[in-house]
Amino acid sequence: MKKEYQQEIKNALAATEKLDGINHVYFVACGGSMAFMQPAEYIFNRECDIPATILPAREFTTRNPHDLGKHSLVVSCSHSGTTPETNEAVNFAKGKGALTVGITYTVGSDLEKNSDFTLHYSWGKGTDASDLNNGVLYGFLFSLLKSVTGDNKYEKGLEALDSLETMADRVRKQFGETAKKWTSELKREKLIYAVGSGINTGETYSFSACWLQEMQWIHSGYINSAEYFHGPFEVTDFDVPFIICKGLGVTRKMDQRVIDFAKKHSQKVYVIDDADFDMHEVDDDFKEYYSQILSGVAFRQLAEGFAYERGHSLDVRRYMGHLDY
C-alpha cells in the first residue's frame, strides 16, 4: 500500500484512540460505496464487542440513532466525494460530536472537506489491489481492530494486503472464461436474482443493485440466503435465473441450502464458490474476510461480460446525474 495511504490510516487511527472508548461504529454511504463497506460491519460484529451498524446515508440521518455522540466513529465512503446524502450524513454526525472518517477517491472533494479525517484510495485498471478501496478499508479496519482489542493477530490480516493483487489477478485469469460463458447464456434474460450472505452480502447486493439494475438496466433483486426460504423461493421456477455466491466460513451452509433447493427447481442456477479461489497466501483466520474481495472480482467480470454481450456500456445512466431526485 502506498506510504501516503498508510499515513492517512495512522492519522485516523490516532484520532480513534483519543476517543477514550468507542460506543458504536457506523458505516454510512450510498449504493456501491455502501455495499463496499458492508464487510467491515460483518467483520466488526464477528471480532469485537463494539457495536457496528451499516446504514444508507439518508436512513442514518433520518433514523438519528439514539447513541450517536462524541464516542461514536462514523466511517463514510463516496467515490466522487460529492453524493449529497453522504455529505449530509457526515455533517449530521459531526453535529452530534462523532468522529468522522471519509473514504474517497477524489482529492479535495466535499467529503474530504467535511470529514475530520480522510482515507484516499486509487482507482482504475492496473492499480495494485492494496491501493484500491477494499485495500484501504481493510488496512484501516484491521489496524482499528488491533487497537481496540489489543490482539496482534490482526497483523496477519494486514500482511495479507501484500498478496491481494496476486490473488485478484489469479481470479481474473481463473474466472474469465466462466464469466464469458455465463453472460453469453444469460444475456437475453429480463430478470436475474443474486443470492448471497455473510461477508458476501455487500458484493452480492452491489451486483444486483449497481451492476445489473443501475448499469445494465436488468431487473434484479438481492436475496439473503437465509431469507430465500421466507418468501423469495416461491418465485423459483425452471426458467428463473439465480446467480448464487457461496461463501467461506459460518454462512456457507446457508448458501448451500439455497443451492440445493434452487437446483432442484430451476435450470438456471449459477454458483460462484469462494472455495474455488486459491488464497494460500492468507492466514486461515482471515480467508473468509478476504474471500469477498475475490467474489467482487468475479462479479465485476460478469458485469463486464454482460456489458460486452449486450452492447450496453457500464457508464450509461438514464437518471443519475441527469435528473433531480
DSSP result, 137-185: HHHHHHHHHHHHH--TTHHHHHHGGGGHHHHHHHHHHHHHHHHHHHHHH
Q: Which residue's CB is nearer to ligand F6P, number 88 or number 189?
A: 88
Residue type, 95: G
Using CB under 6 A, pick the residue from 16, 72, 83, 114 that binds ligand F6P.
Answer: 83
Q: Enumerate residues 183-212 that contact ligand F6P by CB under 6 A.
A: 210
Using CB under 6 A, pick the residue from 1, 24, 28, 32 that binds ligand F6P.
Answer: 32
Using CB under 6 A, pick the residue from 16, 33, 225, 291 that binds ligand F6P.
Answer: 33
31 binding ligand F6P? (CB under 6 A): yes
118: region left, alpha or beta (phi > 0 left; psi from -120 to 50 alpha): beta
**CA–CA separation, 298 vs 295, rounded Å?**
5
137 binding ligand F6P? (CB under 6 A): no
Q: Which residue's CB is nearer to ligand F6P, number 210 or number 258?
A: 210
Q: Which residue's CB is nearer to ligand F6P, number 78 or number 236?
A: 78
Q: Enumerate residues 239-278 that contact ligand F6P by CB under 6 A.
A: none
Q: Measuring CA to CA, which residue among 97, 47, 96, 98 is closest to residue 76?
A: 98
DSSP helix/strand/coil, 266: coil
Residue type, 302: L
**Would you give the DSSP letter of residue 198?**
G
133-149 and 31-47 are packed helices; what angle lies between their axes, rounded to 10 degrees? 30
Size of the site for ligand F6P (CB under 6 A): 12
109 binding ligand F6P? (CB under 6 A): no
Dihedral sign, Cα of residue 167, residue 170, residue 171, residue 172? positive
Q: Per CB under 6 A, which region of 26-34, 89-97, 159-167, 197-205 contacts ligand F6P?
A: 26-34
Using CB under 6 A, pick the residue from 78, 197, 201, 292 that binds ligand F6P.
Answer: 78
12 binding ligand F6P? (CB under 6 A): no
**CA–CA separation, 122 vs 165, rounded Å?**
13
Q: Per CB under 6 A, which region of 65-73, 77-85, 95-103, 193-201 contacts ligand F6P?
A: 77-85
Which residues in this chain contact ligand F6P in the complex, by CB under 6 A? 30-33, 78-80, 83, 86, 210, 214, 320
